[in-house]
Amino acid sequence: MPDLRTELLFEIRADLGEVQEVGATPAGFRRVRLVKGGVVSGPKLAAEVLPGGGDWLLIRGDGVRALDVRITFRADDGHLVYAAAEGLLAISPETFARVLAGEDVDPSEYYFRTTPRFETASEKYAWLNRVVAVSVGRFTAAAVYQTVYAVL
Structural domains of the chain ordered from first start: 6-151 (2.40.160.20)
Q: Which amino acid is it at 150? A: A
Rounded to 5 degrees, φ, ψ at 107 are -60, -15
8 A C-beta contact, residue 64 and residue 79: no
Buried b (16+ CB within 10 A) or exposed e, 118-138: bebeeeebeebeebebbbebb
pLDDT value at position 44?
87
How far apart, in whole angstroms, are the C-alpha atoms of residue 152 and residue 139? Answer: 26
How far apart, in whole angstroms, are the C-alpha atoms of residue 45 and residue 60? Answer: 34
Could you tell me the pTM of the whole model? 0.94
R_g of the chain, CA atoms, integer Å: 16
Q: How many CB atoms lie within 10 A of CB 2?
A: 5
Q: How many CB atoms lie within 10 A of CB 44?
A: 12
8 A C-beta contact, residue 65 and residue 59: yes
- Write out the chain's pLDDT in tens, 152 residues: 889 999 999 999 999 999 999 999 999 999 999 999 999 999 989 999 999 999 999 999 999 999 999 999 999 999 999 999 999 999 999 999 999 999 999 999 999 999 999 999 999 999 999 999 999 999 999 999 999 999 99
pLDDT value at position 2?
86
Separation in Å, CA 113 to CA 50, 69, 75, 123, 139: 22, 12, 24, 29, 12
